[in-house]
Amino acid sequence: METTNKVSAKKVFLQGLITENPIFVSLLGMCPTLATTKSVEAALGMGMLVLLTLIGSNVLISLLRKIIPSEVKIPCYIIIIATFVTIIKMLTQAFIPALYSSLGVFISLIVVNCIILGRAEAFASKNGPKASFFDALGTGLGFTIALCVIAFIREFVGTGALSFGVYFPIGIELSWQIFPADYAISIFVQSAGGFLTLGIVLAFLAWRKNRKEDAKLAAEKARIEELKAKKAEELRLKKEAEEKAKLEAEAKANDAKPEAEVVEKPQADDKKEVA
């Protein structure tokens, strides 16, 4: 039973992280994806806030799933999510003020993020706390990783540098100027850059998926052709065996004929002598 639960938890976790990634696969949460990915640090901060909200709301909704009436479940889910968002917002404002100022209204908009409400309705309301925790963890990490990938491309191409410590109070600000800013494409850190980067990433993922499907289709065709050749070889061997057996039977029949004639001739001679 423990093995089954571990496999189930792993499957649920990987679904949210990879196979059902909220941004790259389901295309959910596009508003924060486009607005908060100008830098890797801001994207990481947004992903962490969504992850914490998602874990808290998923687990609590799972615990209350049998108590909440079906007629008012959506309003109840929103109240639970709003409670966690309010707590996280206050903590962010108190301990990470620079990140709070950077994200601004998008922290409050986590309440209406379709990813969180969608997981509450589709999963947490139908499964136990453990499975809901792993679902929230996988989905939240998948969202965070997707944000950071998009933010990395935008910041790297748009500024030629990567920085950390601007929003998080780590006591030091780190910056790596990878190539001269004169060669940076500034549109990537502007509003249009979010759409461009998202389109590039989705196009790459679609190309990779199509390539895998083509390879799988080619392998399947090769397997079918191999089976056909194997079947044809079996039929050929069977036909040869049948022909060989037929020839052997005819040869045996031919060998038996002279003996029968020898047996019949003496009988005929005996009849002539009696006559």
DSSP helix/strand/coil, 37: coil
Q: What's the token pair of residue 102?
A: 């950077």
Q: How confident is the model at residue 261 (pLDDT cuts 50, 70, 90)?
A: low
Question: Phi/psi zone of residue 171: left (φ > 0), alpha (ψ -120 to 50 degrees), beta?
Answer: left
Give the span between the Cα atoms of 254 and 252, in whole angstroms. 5
Using a cut of 0.85, tell me whether the model's pTM lies above it: no
Task: Give yes or no for a contact between 65 and 126, defined as CB atoms under 8 angstroms apart.
Answer: yes
Has residue 3 got a pLDDT over 70? Answer: no
Instruction: Decide: helix, strand or coil at residue 182.
Output: helix
Least confident of 132-136, 256-260, 264-268: 264-268
108-131: per-residue pLDDT in tens? 999 988 899 999 999 999 999 999
Per-residue model confidence (pLDDT) at position 19: 86
CA pair distance 39, 158, nearest whole angstrom: 10
- pLDDT of amino acid 85: 96
Closest by Cα among 171, 173, 167 to 97:
167
pLDDT number for residue 266: 54
